[in-house]
Chains A and B, each alone.
Chain A
Amino acid sequence: MTELKHYFAPTSLDQAVECLKDGDVTILAGGTDLTPQSQAGRIKIKHTLMNIRHIPQLTGITLEGREIRIGALATITEIMEHPLVREHLPVLVEACDHFASDQIRNAGTIGGNICNASPAGDTLIPLLVLDASVELASMPEAKLYRHSMPLSTFFVGPGKTRKSLCELVTGVRIPLPAPGHVARFFKLGTRPALDISTISIGVAGTLKDGVLSNARVAFGAVAPTPTRAAQTEQALEGQRLDAATIERVAAVARDEVKPIDDVRATAWYRKEMIHNITKRILSHVAQA
Chain B
Amino acid sequence: MNVAEKKARVIEPDSLIGKRIPKMDAPEKASGRTRYIHDINLSGQLHGKILRSSRIHALIKSIDVSAARALPGVHVVITAADIPDQRPIGVAKDHFPLKVGRVRSQRDEIAAVAAESEEIAEAALKLIKVEYEDLPVISDPEQAIMPGAALIHPEPHGADGSHLHLKQGMSIAHKGKPDNIAMRFDYVHGDVVQGEAESDVVVEDTFKLHYVTHCCMGVSGMIAEFDASGNLLMYSNTQVPFLHKREFADYLNMDPARIRIIQPPIGGGFGSKLDIYPFEVICLYLARAAKRPVKMLFTREEEFLASPTRQPVLLTLRSGCKKDGTLTFRQVHTLHDNGAYTSWGATTPFVMMQTFSSLYRVPHCDYHTAAVYTNNPYAGSFRGYGNLQATFAIEQHMDMLAEKIGMDPLEFRLKNAQDAGETTGQGMSFKSCGFKDCITTAARRSDYSRKARENAANRGKPGNIKRGIGMASMLHVGGGAKIYPSDGCGTILKMDDFANVTLITGASEIGQGSETVLSQLVCEELGLPISAITVVNNDTAITPWDVGVHASRTTFIAGNSAIGAAKKAKSKILAVAAKKYDVAEDELDLRGGFVIQAASGEVVVELSKLLRNLHFQDKAELVMTTFYYEPPSVHQDKGFKGDVSAAYAWGTQVVEVEVDTDTGQVRMTKVTGAHDVGRVLNRLGIEGQIEGGVVMGQGYALTEDLLIQNGVMKNPNFRDYKLVTAPEIPEMDIAFIESMDGEGPQGAKGVGEAPSICIAAATANAIANATGVRMYELPFTPEKVYRALRGQTPKLYWKPWKAD
Contacts and interface: CB of A to CB of B under 8 A. Distances in A.
Interface of A: 36, 40, 101, 188, 190-196, 198, 263-266, 269, 272-273, 276-277, 280
Contacts of A269: 782-783, 786-787
A190 B714 contact: no
A45 to B, nearest CB: 14
A274 to B, nearest CB: 11
A277 B786 CA distance: 13
Interface stretch (B199-207, B215-223, B716-724): B716-724
Interface in B763-804: 781-783, 786-787, 790
B709 to A, nearest CB: 9
Question: What are the nearest 9 A-B pairs in CB distance?
Answer: A269-B783, A276-B662, A193-B725, A192-B727, A190-B722, A263-B720, A265-B783, A263-B714, A190-B703
Nearest to B790: A272
Contacts of B786: 269, 272
A276 B783 CA distance: 13
Contacts of B30: none
B782 A192 contact: no
Contacts of A263: 707, 714-715, 720
Given A191-B703, A193-B725, A198-B782, A264 B720 contact: yes
Given A190-B703, A191-B724, A269-B787, 8 more contacts: A188-B665, A191-B727, A193-B726, A193-B727, A193-B728, A198-B782, A263-B714, A280-B662
Interface of B: 301, 464, 662-663, 665, 702-703, 707, 714-715, 717, 719-720, 722, 724-728, 781-783, 786-787, 790
A195 B727 contact: no
A230 B677 CA distance: 61
Most buried by B among A101, A190, A273, A280: A190
A277 B662 contact: yes
A110 B703 CA distance: 29
Contacts of A36: 719
Nearest to B464: A280
A188 B703 CA distance: 14
A269 B789 CA distance: 12
Contacts of B781: 190
B728 A195 contact: no
Nearest to A195: B722
Nearest to B728: A191
B455 to A, nearest CB: 22
Contacts of B663: 188, 273, 276-277
A266 B783 contact: yes
Contacts, number: 53
B663 to A, nearest CB: 6
Most buried by B among A188, A196, A266: A188
Nearest to A276: B662
A272 B722 CA distance: 22
Contacts of B787: 269
B783 A192 contact: no
A253 B544 CA distance: 68
A263 B722 CA distance: 11
Nearest to B782: A190
Nearest to A101: B725
Contact of B722 (A191, A265, A276): A191
B725 to A, nearest CB: 5
24 contacts: A36-B719, A40-B301, A190-B702, A190-B703, A190-B722, A190-B782, A191-B703, A191-B724, A191-B725, A191-B727, A191-B728, A192-B725, A192-B727, A193-B725, A194-B725, A195-B722, A196-B719, A263-B707, A263-B715, A269-B786, A273-B663, A276-B662, A276-B663, A280-B464
Contacts of B464: 280
Given A193-B726, A193-B727, A263-B707, A188 B715 contact: no
A276 to B, nearest CB: 4
B760 to A, nearest CB: 16
A272 B665 CA distance: 13
Nearest to A193: B725
B795 to A, nearest CB: 19
Most buried by A among B464, B662, B707, B714: B662
A195 B727 CA distance: 12
Nearest to B792: A268
Contacts of B662: 276-277, 280
A188 B782 contact: yes
Nearest to A279: B662
Contacts of A265: 782-783
A273 B727 CA distance: 23
Contacts of B782: 188, 190, 198, 265, 269
Nearest to A186: B663
Contacts of B725: 101, 191-194
A257 to B, nearest CB: 16
A278 to B, nearest CB: 11
A280 to B, nearest CB: 6
B49 to A, nearest CB: 15
A266 B787 CA distance: 11
Contacts of B728: 191-193
Contacts of A101: 725
Most buried by A among B702, B714, B715, B720: B720
B463 to A, nearest CB: 12
Contacts of A196: 719-720
A159 B714 CA distance: 20
A216 to B, nearest CB: 23
A265 B664 CA distance: 12
Contacts of A40: 301, 717
A273 B464 CA distance: 13
A265 B717 CA distance: 17
B610 to A, nearest CB: 55
Nearest to A265: B783
Contacts of A195: 722
Contacts of A194: 719, 725
A189 to B, nearest CB: 8
A193 B703 CA distance: 12
A215 B740 CA distance: 68
A241 B50 CA distance: 61
A75 B46 CA distance: 41
A38 to B, nearest CB: 14
A195 B318 CA distance: 39
B30 to A, nearest CB: 18
